[in-house]
């Protein structure tokens, strides 16, 4: 958990990064547009999800993946940043950044399901 959140930033830092109000990060988290985990009473947003060239300042396709994954936000973060056998050792996050949104979403539909 600590390792997954080591580069995470606070809501006020997110607001500054995106040029929005302090409420916006909370609203986007609640609507599934951003990932965050409550840590010691403060929401922490992993920095890797932000992309100044992406829609709304995040990696293109990330909100679709967030809403597709049916696990906790911490599990979503872990899945996105962990190398995957399905992706030949690459992280889903890296594939998403490379524009392989459809492929990542297809795999995300299987996360948390049992066969």
pLDDT tens for 49-85 read 999 999 999 999 999 999 999 999 999 999 999 999 9
- Predicted local confidence at residue 67, as pLDDT: 94
CB 45 within 8 Å of CB 11: yes
CB 15 within 8 Å of CB 21: yes
CB 115 within 8 Å of CB 70: no
Smallest Cα–Cα separation from 29: which of 2, 60, 67, 61? Answer: 67
CB 77 within 8 Å of CB 40: no
Mean pLDDT of the chain: 92
- pTM for this structure? 0.88
Instruction: Over range 8-32, report the average pLDDT.
Output: 95
């Amino acid at each position: 958990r600590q390792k997954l959140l080591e580069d995470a930033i606070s809501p006020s830092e997110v607001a500054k990064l995106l040029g929005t109000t302090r409420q916006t990060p909370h609203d986007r988290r609640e609507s599934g547009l951003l990932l965050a985990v409550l840590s010691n009473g403060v929401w922490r947003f992993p920095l890797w999800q932000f992309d100044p060239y992406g829609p709304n300042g995040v990696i293109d396709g990330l909100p679709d993946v967030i809403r597709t994954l049916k696990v906790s936000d911490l599990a979503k973060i872990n899945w996105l940043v962990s190398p995957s056998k399905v992706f030949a050792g690459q992280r889903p996050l890296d594939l998403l950044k490379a524009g392989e949104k459809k492929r990542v979403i297809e795999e995300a539909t299987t996360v948390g399901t049992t066969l």
